[in-house]
Amino acid sequence: MRLGIDVGGTFTDLVALSGSTLVTAKVPSTPRDQSEGVMAAVEASGVNPAEVVALAHGMTVATNALLERSGGRTALVTTAGFRDLLEIARQDRPALYDLTRRRPQPLVPRELCLTVEERMGPDGEVRPLDEDSVEGVVEALRGADVEAVAVCLLFAFLHADHERRVGERLREALPEVHVSLSSEVLPEMREYERAATTVADAYLAPRLSAYLSRLGERVREAGLPEPLVMRSSGGVVELEVAARSAASCVLSGPAGGVVGAAHVARASGYDDVLTFDMGGTSTDVASVRGGEVETTTELSVAGVPIGLPVVDIHTVSAGGGSIGAPDPGGALRVGPRSAGADPGPAAYGRGGEEPTVTDADLFLGHLADGAQLGGEVTLDRGSAERALATVGEPLGLDALATAEGIVRVANAEMARALRVISVERGIDPRELALVAFGGAGGVHACALAEELGMRTVLVPRAAGVLSALGLAMSDVRRDYVTPLLGELSGVEPGTVERAFAQLEERGREDLDEPELLRRADLRYRGQSFELTVDAGPVDAGHEGQDRERSGDAFSDLAERFGAAHERRYGYRMDEEAVESVAVRVTATSRVDKPELSEDEEPEDSTTAQIGRRRAYFDDEWHEAVVLDHARMGRGSNVVGPAVVESAEATCVVAPGWATEVDRAGTLVLTRAEA
């Protein structure tokens, strides 16, 4: 049995996977110590620890530390003359015409930005490392009460000797302090992004290490195997590896959801989809093309660039717990404030007094009055109505108009996010299906699909715990990168092969007989940023053939890059020279994936219908059929308006839509022809 446990802002989800059998559990999250929620989920599931062979975990510890600025006290050591690297950053503005907007404060205060006398250039050492300046930094840090130090020297991504010597001295002199080196964290060009990522890694390490240490102790006491931790790139790593590379875990939880969505979509026959994960605090959207999860190295969380490989996710502050309230101008806004797990929406009855998206959905009949969430929360429509009326009164709105407004505002924000990862990247959403999951994803899926012109929505049977399912089936993965600068036509194939071979050797050392995939970062000459293009898989058993194939594959990269550039930006420049910036290797150790299957429709399909209730759609109340997803077999179908309920999530079938259970147990919603 394999366990996947995902900690969200409101609930902690568990999936136990044994062959095609799924056991699920959902309990409220415990923000003060997320490991308590993890163990509560294990207890609620009733799983026998002796039967568990693997436990994969996704969490929000690193994300929350960046959002709340609650990481460790961190210092930065860089080359003399570049002390203000983080302050200067990139000379762009978060909002071009908003003079009141300010950049988020750097993670390191200026007084903790220290320098050493040295200089590396593109060709090697320009000025030797001054050991006295290193000792001066060590003495300054002794009295600074820091928990972590980030070291980022110029051109350390090419020539790391000086940086390593500084790191060795710091680790020797300050053994209790975590030290992150840019040449280990992100050996890539661009000093600001490299410094910012290294600082984030150091800043997050004390909090993440403490959490993972606590989690490891509790898991071992319970008789469970050592946890594997989901990285932002969509693969899991061992506990100690995650603790050493904190910045790589910033999107730990959401990445599991995209992995799970891609698997469920493939089981239903869809390789090209948009994923829509609506949880309690936020909504995460991503695209899956050709059945593969897309990754990027362009991520910014709370104003902090993270240059490591991550699943290409766009996040907005619109979730079930997002609070609706008037802004200073008298307009109704939703988010970014969230009621979270404590006190939660007003309908939870835990002291929340402000209306949320969940309260609006409940009042409109899309959720059931009296429904239980996570075994400890019971929804109360009366409490939701009172909160909605209180907020709506100053705006001249009754509870119904306020609820409808909150839902429309939230839907507009989520539709904008879906456009960012589709239309703005040259993808026509009308040609894709929408995979909706998370506790609230199925409630809003039809409205968002209509907004984007999409005609198919997939709501998996395990929609409410799909991120945990993705964790349980995630492959073990490592990512490696090394710089390789020069025009593509002028780079010797032998040089390219050696660069790839060195990275592949590291992959084979870290994993047992891994699958290896080569990629290259390319750009047109004169461009500031690059695209990552596949350079083909590698057969570990035929190194000679690999070497021969690599030259062919690399010479073909210019064409691949041109096609990728045209997809992303709408044009290509075949007459321009293509430059190589870096080469990458992904090493993956595959795990068995479950076969998702669904029994045939029961002879008496009416047993799935458990009632009716009034639900509000398109400015009027309708009588909606209510069905139990667990009682629906393959081929079961219903025409909207209808509500399909499961233990962890709800799916709303709007008027004009119909749904049928497919062979994988997924609700396939289709929009009627005009």
Domain boundaries defined on the chain: 72-207, 322-409, 477-589, 605-671
Q: Cα separations (Å) of 199 from 66, 88, 89, 109, 207?
A: 11, 15, 13, 11, 14
The span from the CA of 95 to the CA of 301, in Å, is: 16
Number of Cβ within 10 Å of residue 229's Cβ equals: 25
Q: Cα separations (Å) of 181 from 82, 296, 622, 661?
A: 16, 22, 61, 51
Write down the pLDDT at residue 493: 77
Residue-wise pLDDT for 174-217, tens only, equals 999 999 999 999 999 999 999 999 999 999 999 999 999 999 99
Strand partners, 617: 620
- Only one residue has tokens 């710089």, namely 483
* 475 neighbors 512 (Cβ within 8 angstroms): no
Number of Cβ within 10 Å of residue 70's Cβ equals: 12
Strand partners, 238: 228
The span from the CA of 462 to the CA of 396, in Å, is: 40
Residue 636's contacts (CB-CB under 8 Å, 6 or more residues apart) are 601, 605, 608, 660, 661
Which ranges constitute the DSSP H helices of 92-190?
131-142, 161-173, 182-185
Residue-wise pLDDT for 492-548, tens only, equals 878 888 999 999 999 999 999 999 999 999 999 988 888 999 886 655 444 444 444
The span from the CA of 519 to the CA of 533, in Å, is: 5
The span from the CA of 112 to the CA of 115, in Å, is: 10
The span from the CA of 338 to the CA of 332, in Å, is: 15
Residue 12's contacts (CB-CB under 8 Å, 6 or more residues apart) are 5, 6, 26, 27, 28, 29, 30, 34, 37, 38, 40, 41
Global confidence as pTM: 0.85
The span from the CA of 375 to the CA of 147, in Å, is: 39
Number of Cβ within 10 Å of residue 665's Cβ equals: 23
The span from the CA of 536 to the CA of 549, in Å, is: 9
Which amino acid is residue 196, in one-letter code?
Answer: A
The span from the CA of 292 to the CA of 583, in Å, is: 20
Write down the pLDDT at residue 538: 58
DSSP 104: P
Strands of 178-181's sheet in order across: 113-116, 74-79, 148-152, 178-181
The span from the CA of 433 to the CA of 31, in Å, is: 34
Half-sphere exposure in the Cβ direction for 237 (13 Å, CA)? 21
Write down the pLDDT at residue 504: 94
Q: Which CATH number fits domain 477-589: 2.40.128, 3.30.1490, 1.10.10, 2.60.40?
A: 3.30.1490
Write down the pLDDT at residue 374: 61
Q: What fold, for 72-207?
A: Rossmann fold (3.40.50)
Nearest to 669 by CA among 461, 459, 444, 443: 459
Look up residue 457 and give its two tokens. 């929505």
The span from the CA of 229 to the CA of 239, in Å, is: 6
Average pLDDT for the chain: 88
Mark the ranges of the chain whose per-residue pLDDT is less than 70.
20, 341, 374-376, 536-555, 598-606, 673-674
Nearest to 581 by CA among 517, 528, 538, 506: 528
